[in-house]
Structure 1
Amino acid sequence: MRIRYFMLHAYGMGGTIRTVVNHANAMAAAGHDVEVVSLVRRRERPRFGLDPRVPIVTLVDQRGGRLPDPLGRRAWRRLRGKIVPRGEFAAAYFTERVERAAIGYVASLRDGVLVTTRPALSLIAARRAPKGVLTVAQEHMNLSAYPETIRRQIARHYGRLDAVAVPTRTNRHAYERLLPGAPIVQIPNAVHRVEREPSRQVNPVVVAAGRLTPQKGFDLLIEAFARVVAEHPEWRLRIFGTGARRAELGGLVERLGLGGHVTLAGRTDRLDLELANASVYALSSRFEGLPMVMIEAMAHALPVVAFDCPTGPQDVLTDGTDGVLVPPRDVSALADALNRVVSDRDLRVRMGKAAAETARAYGPEQVMPLWEDLFAALAHGERVTGTFWHDR
């Protein structure tokens, strides 16, 4: 089967890119004809390793900088909204040249499966893909996180897609309410592998990872960790990731006097090792889709302390068994939960063992056959529903 994964920037970092690369690699290993399509390219090499059988096709090469648009940026901003709506999180990428390239690529296809990985690309597929192409929107963010401008366009156009795949039960119900009768399916994302080096629970280290943006809530985590340090000064917090809020977060660390306790460690190619050497994983997001790094941490037998944010953590964790869930954005509750977990090694060991077992459900051996079943059903003209896939 010919499968194309259409991404904004396959050469970048982030959970969506990591997840799509995992999918592409697994499908190639299963014998499918797989291609990754990157709408733009701004780096020399991909950050995540692709199977040699999976080529990357670039539509707009921006390694030398962005070329001026024929209409000019101001004119194109006035026109934008016909397909890529205002409110798209990556709106800055969608210049006239880039959007036209995406539309032209989708319209040129004649067969196979096209998997789109964000609303802008899914809306283009819904409106421009020829009938011979099977279109699957792979949603990575919860519906409520999108601005109203995006949700209106989803409600208007996603029903034309052959399937809308969401990773959590909560998100499936939200899409079913917005799109009654549409082919919504629930299939979780898969981690690269679940056999990981387990934490030995000997290092007083809490790890968090993600883009340094407001979504990930690292400001809330740093405030909570200040209270942990007051009771457990030997513990350290290491936050991995890059982003626009680095200077702001660094200033918060300094203001709270946490320079010796909190490290903004930047990007790493050794996250597996960092997780294995830690003892707790913290997730402080204001909202999520399905937090894949959290599941990878669980595969390392790390207990998780997380905000019960929409969506993701509650769809994976069982409070008190493989982690601790606290009310969203409640810094005091997050600090109390961290203090409880870091002070009790036996609790960490017990929760970590349960976390590793939970993570097994997200291994490629469990998840990728569901995607193969979905693609095969669509190829045979079957209409799929969320209940069918949820019950499998």
Structure 2
Amino acid sequence: MTGKIRGSVRRAALWSLRRLNDRRARRASATGAGGDTGTVRILLHHAYGMGGTIRTVLNLAGYLARERDVEIVSVVRTAEEPFLPIPPGVRVSFLDDRVAARGPAARLLSRFPSRLVPEQENIHHTVSLWTDLRLIRRLRAMRGGVVITTRPGYNLAAALFAPPEVITIGQEHVALQVHKPEMRRLIRRRYGRLDAFVTLTEADLEQYAGLLEADAPRRLVRVPNAVPRLAGDVSRLEEKVAVAIGRVVHAKGFDRLVKAWRQVAQAHPDWILRIYGGGTPEREQRLRDQIEEAGLTGRVLLMGSSREIGVELAKASIYVVSSRYEGFGMTILEAMSKGVPVVSFDCPHGPREIITHEHDGLLVGAGKAGALAGGIRRLIEDEELRRTLGGNALRTAARYDLDAVGARWDALLADLSGLSSRPDPQPCSLGTPVF
């Protein structure tokens, strides 16, 4: 298909969508169907998976379900059972269920790449044309209520396809600067159609305000993640154990953590580092090889994923963050909720907004393995400082209690309930996708 034909198809599709939205907006206005915040749908990539975004979204869903009808719409399903417990009162549905038997249409369309989720999205390789179809149908079938989307590809889709009587809230879990230039251009073009956009940090809020300028959503706000209530007691800070948590991916910087721990182990060979989290077999093997080459076998342990991370944190005396960047740093708060002081790279963006240096943790030079090792050694060697920071960490975590953060979501939804329908979609391209 030539570029001219593709452009004509795109314009025709957008024209049809505008006409449909016009009719639905008039119908919603006549029947008073807009502004309903009693029904909330949260669009999540994989509700049965594991990870910080999934944990925090489930946490939010549980809070909202106290007084609302809440459904998590999982775009894909690749596991029989959820890794994390689904909160009471929360329903889960699946758009592309890859566990159940698939029909011929699903099998055929799943062979083609997504045209809706941009190639720059790191989930692009996990979705398909079949996923696109299911997602568009689900969005267009919504009648009022709220839809909260939790990553850029789905924020863009909701901005374009959610009907005008549906309140749309986009949410971001990583820093804007992490996104490639192509993705930032799509964000600037499309996010203005959302009713609200929520960032986790003040730094990211400022960057989005600068990027979107006059085309920002009607509400651009910062609401941090709430710390979940985890099993396990508050740590006694007596075990010679440090813990790190995260997927075994480049962003988490575990390669740099192993370099830092080599210096720690030379001075304190009786201390152990436990890394919790999974990754691809290839990445995990590379990390194991690095540990062995550094002579740290038995001193740095890859523990895999844990459903009871609170119990594991309660056994730790230090929590370490070696990330190259963080959207917010949910595990920092989880460690603090167990009274565990944190040593973290001062990386963009989250750690600095949670940790107060020398009060509830230590911030060290970003990317400097020696600085990270120095911070860890300082807490190992100064028990009084370790206990002071741990006590203050408990008080810091309390500010992110679910009820306190949930109240901010209540206020946002109450504010949005009075907004009128969104404007029509403008005939601009989403780049590589069809629409």
TM-score normalized by structure 1?
A: 0.93
Task: Write the deviation string for residues 172-228 of structure 1: whole angstroms up to 9, x where unpaired.
Answer: 011011011423101101122389622111101000011010011111111100100
- Residue 301, structure 1, aligned to residue 363, structure 2: no
Find out whether 1:3 has 2:40 as its counterpart.
yes
2:418 and 2:231 mapped to 1: Cα distance? Answer: 35
Match of 2:386 among 348, 362, 378: 348
Of 164, 169, 178, 2:197 maps to: 164
Written as runs of structure 1 = structure 2, the 5 A alignment for 1:212-231 is 212-231=248-267
CA distance in 2, matches of 1:146, 1:321: 32
Change (3 A) 1:342 1:131: same
| Cα distance in 2, alignment partners of residues 292 and 65 from structure 1 | 36
- For 2:204 and 2:167, the matched residues in 1 are separated by 22
Structure 2 residue corresponding to 1:373, chosen from 403, 407, 411 = 411
Task: Name structure 1 gaps, 5 residues minimum.
Answer: 384-392
- Alignment match, 2:87: 51
Match of 2:303 in 1: 265
> Is 1:17 aligned with 2:50?
no
Match of 1:371, as an amino acid? W
Deviations along 1:219-276, one digit per CA (max 9) or x if unpaired, are 1111100100000111000000000211110000000010020000001122111101
Identity between Structure 1 and Structure 2 (%) = 40
Corresponding residue number in structure 1 for 2:118 = 85
Q: Distance in 2 between matches of 1:347 and 1:213?
A: 31
* Equivalent residue runs for 1:105-184 within 5 Å: 105-181=138-214, 182=216, 183-184=219-220
Give the CA deviation at 1:53.
1.4
- Whether the 8 Å contact between 2:109 and 2:128 is mirrored in structure 1 is no
Write the distance in 1 (CA, Å) between the matches of 2:266 and 2:156: 49
What CA deviation, in whole Å up to 9, does each residue of 1:23-55 have, x standing for no partner?
Answer: 0011112x1111111011111111111223111
Classify the secondary structure of the residue corresponding to 2:65: helix
1:217-366 mapped onto 2 (5 Å cutoff): 217-244=253-280, 245-366=283-404
The 3 A distance-change label for structure 1 pair 334 and 132 is same
Q: Which has the higher contact order (CA 8 A, sep 6+)?
A: 2
Query: Structure 1 residue 65: deviation in Å?
Result: 8.2
* Matched-pair contact (CA < 8 Å) for 1:164–1:185: yes
Equivalent residue, structure 2, for 1:390? none
Alpha-carbon contact 1:136-1:165 (below 8 Å) kept: yes
Residue aligned with 2:416, SS: helix
Q: Give the Cα–Cα distance (whole angstroms) in 2 for the partners of residues 194 and 234 of structure 1.
A: 28
Structure 2 match to 1:70: 109
Q: Per-residue deviation at 1:72?
A: 4.3
How many equivalent pairs are there?
376
Runs (4 or more) in structure 1 with deviation over 4 Å come to 64-67
Which one has the largest radius of gyration? 2
